[in-house]
């Protein structure tokens, strides 16, 4: 009888024990996976948004990248150089003689361009890529407000009666092949390229009375060549060239 009872008991079906995976499935509300995926996408979207915002704020208030498209500033800056300008510095102080500055072309020195890349323009706008538009130019400040700047017949340049020894000029290039005589208005700059024979700078716009750059148009001073890597270098003004120049009127 006992053996029969044991056999009878062994023949009863076992109660199925739920697995750990089954418990997780049972605990997960319907649509939970979709909500998790949406949450991850939202987090990634916020990260990208914050990154773009930070890049834009850096470009607007601290530093901004630009691309050098011409040889007008050789040998200081080369074609295809990527440079950064100190935007913050221009917000709190004026440019000095000798500073290499990027400024907005409000005087229409450059002819209008027809083609553009909207994606690259957008990336430049937020500060992710260097600006390659023709709306900005790069030159060296020669005269500031009140300065009497003269380009002499012998090719030399003087400011307030002091002749300059411009050590930053491209080798073999004359300081100027165009005689001129100007007095820089207050809150303005007279600018020139370091490669004077290939620089359509302030000298070329005297006849149209658009030779001076307004302080408000200056984006900032170039302080570093960041690319290509082999040309990485910090740049600055040339205070030694203008050390003996007295203040203008």
CA distance 242 to 153: 21
User: What is the arithmetic mean of pLDDT over 37-57?
Assistant: 67
The yes-or-no verdict on residue 23 having pLDDT over 60 is: no
The yes-or-no verdict on residue 8 having pLDDT over 60 is: no
The yes-or-no verdict on residue 158 having pLDDT over 50 is: yes
Looking at per-residue pLDDT, the higher value among 88 and 24 belongs to 88
* DSSP 8-state symbol, 70: S
Is residue 187 within 8 Å of 161, Cβ to Cβ? no
pLDDT given at position 122? 52
The yes-or-no verdict on residue 62 having pLDDT over 80 is: no
The yes-or-no verdict on residue 151 having pLDDT over 50 is: yes
The yes-or-no verdict on residue 239 having pLDDT over 80 is: yes
Give φ, ψ of 101 to 5 degrees.
-125, 150
Span of 64-68, 113-117, 157-161 with lowest mean pLDDT: 113-117
- Catalytic residues, by residue number, are 72, 139
Span of 71-80, 88-97, 123-132, 227-236 with lowest mean pLDDT: 123-132
**Cα–Cα nearest to 136, from 65, 208, 229, 54:** 65
Highest averaged pLDDT of the listed ranges 81-95, 148-162, 220-234: 148-162
The yes-or-no verdict on residue 25 having pLDDT over 50 is: no
Looking at per-residue pLDDT, the higher value among 71 and 31 belongs to 71
User: What is the arithmetic mean of pLDDT over 212-221?
Assistant: 93
Give φ, ψ of 131 to 5 degrees.
-75, 130
User: What is the arithmetic mean of pLDDT over 91-115?
Assistant: 82
Burial class of 26 by CB neighbour count within 10 A (0 to 12, 13 to 18, 19+): exposed
Q: Give DSSP secondary structure letters for 154-183.
A: TS-EEETTEE---TTSPTT--S-SS-EEEE
Looking at per-residue pLDDT, the higher value among 90 and 23 belongs to 90
Return mean pLDDT, the chain. 79
User: What is the arithmetic mean of pLDDT over 90-103?
Assistant: 85
pLDDT given at position 56? 57
* Span 170-185, pLDDT tens digits: 999 999 999 999 999 9
pLDDT given at position 127? 41
């Amino acid at each position: 009888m006992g053996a029969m009872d044991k056999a009878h008991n062994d023949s009863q079906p076992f109660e199925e024990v739920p697995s750990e995976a089954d418990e997780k499935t049972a605990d997960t509300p319907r649509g939970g996976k979709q909500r998790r995926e949406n949450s991850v996408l939202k987090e990634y979207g916020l990260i990208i948004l914050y990154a773009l915002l930070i890049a834009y704020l850096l470009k607007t208030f601290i530093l901004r990248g630009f691309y050098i498209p011409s040889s007008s500033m050789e040998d200081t800056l080369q074609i295809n150089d990527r440079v950064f300008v100190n935007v913050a510095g221009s917000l709190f102080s004026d440019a000095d003689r000798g500073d290499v500055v990027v400024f907005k072309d409000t005087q229409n020195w450059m002819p209008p361009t027809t083609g553009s890349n909207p994606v690259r323009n957008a990336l430049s706008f937020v500060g992710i890529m260097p600006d390659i538009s023709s709306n900005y130019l790069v030159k060296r400040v020669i005269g500031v407000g009140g300065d009497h700047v003269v380009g002499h017949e012998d090719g030399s340049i003087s400011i307030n009666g002091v002749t300059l020894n411009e050590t930053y000029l491209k080798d073999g290039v004359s300081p100027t092949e165009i005689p001129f005589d100007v007095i820089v208005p207050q809150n303005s700059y007279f600018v020139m390229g370091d490669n004077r024979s290939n620089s359509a700078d302030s000298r070329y716009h005297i006849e149209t009375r658009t030779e001076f750059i307004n302080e408000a148009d200056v984006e900032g001073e170039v302080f570093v060549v960041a690319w290509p890597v082999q040309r990485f270098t910090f740049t600055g003004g040339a205070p030694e060239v203008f050390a003996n120049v007295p203040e203008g009127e």
